[in-house]
Amino acid sequence: MFLEERRQEILKFVVQQGRASVTELSERFNVSDVTIRADLQALADSALIVRTYGGAIPPVNSIYELSLNRRRQQQQVEKQRIGEVASHLIADGEAIFLDSSSTALTITPYIKQLRDLTVVTNSLVIAQEMLSAPNIAVVMPGGTLHPDTVSLSDPLGLELLKRYNIAWGFFGAYGLSLSVGLTDVTATEAVVKRPLVAMCRQVVVVLDGTKWGREGVASYAALSDVNVIITDVGAPPDMVEAVQALGILVSVV
């Protein structure tokens, strides 16, 4: 089991059980106490768990993979503005990728009038949303269904997508960090997003101001992979300036 996968499973176990000890986790994952302590500290540093004497508990407001419906209800006004601005980048005849994030979903109402557009997505919600636009082709990679994100994931299914010339990729994130880039709280989402980032000519990150400075368990892109970030006025000005200094276009809406 890879490090990120183990930490994801540790996080899941702690949230489900309500608490876990170092000894218990060491035996469960067949690694040393030292390794488990390092894993727990990394999760605690990302505010995903709270360290206790000899173990860990979930935070009071556990943020382990919020369901899609809950995420859609958060920062709704900001996300709608971000989605509308992001849609202006897209032209007739292009192929684009939309991930399963609630912010990428807000792009869909603004692109239905485009012609000969191909939307590549792993989100069943986005695919269903595009059914009312018969002029748009929807392509999905297939894979395992994840109920919380209502999305599909399968690295092998991504091979199908290599035939498409994807002009724009729109990606949400659990967090944006200057040190580790873009992160998610599940390794499965990150595994899907990493190769898709490489497939897109232009990578556009769509995220509201609350996501800046946060770190999830799994990184899926470095900031050097990103061309454009569309966010709202809640983004910390110092971080925005630091990202702009890297040559990334940041649009604050």
What is the side-by-side strand order in the sheet with 181-184? 175-177, 181-184, 218-221
**pLDDT, tens only, 184-221:** 877 777 888 899 999 999 999 999 998 999 888 789 99
Task: Judge whether residue 112 has pLDDT over 50.
Answer: yes
Which of the residue ranges 3-12, 55-64, 130-139, 164-173 would you say has the lowest mean pLDDT? 55-64
User: 38 CB contacts (<8 Å, ≥6 apart)?
Assistant: none
The domain ranges of the chain are 3-57, 68-252
Whether residue 190 contacts residue 220, with contact meaning beta carbons closer than 8 Å, is answered with yes
Question: pLDDT band at 60, cuts 50/70/90?
Answer: low
CA-closest candidate to residue 4, choices 32, 39, 31: 39
What crossing angle do the helices spanning 33-45 and 3-17 adopt, rounded to 10°? 80
Task: Judge whether residue 172 has pLDDT over 70.
Answer: yes
Task: Judge whether residue 125 has pLDDT over 50.
Answer: yes
**pLDDT, tens only, 63-84:** 444 555 555 555 678 899 999 9
Average pLDDT (107-129) is: 95
Question: What proportion of the chain, given as a percentage, has pLDDT over 70?
Answer: 92
Query: Domain 68-252's class?
Result: alpha beta
The pLDDT value given to residue 63: 45
- How many other CB atoms are there within 10 angstroms of residue 250's CB atom? 17
The pLDDT value given to residue 146: 73
pTM of structure: 0.73
Which of the residue ranges 139-143, 162-166, 167-171, 209-213 would you say has the lowest mean pLDDT? 139-143
The CATH code that applies to domain 3-57 is 1.10.10.10
- How many other CB atoms are there within 10 angstroms of residue 1's CB atom? 11
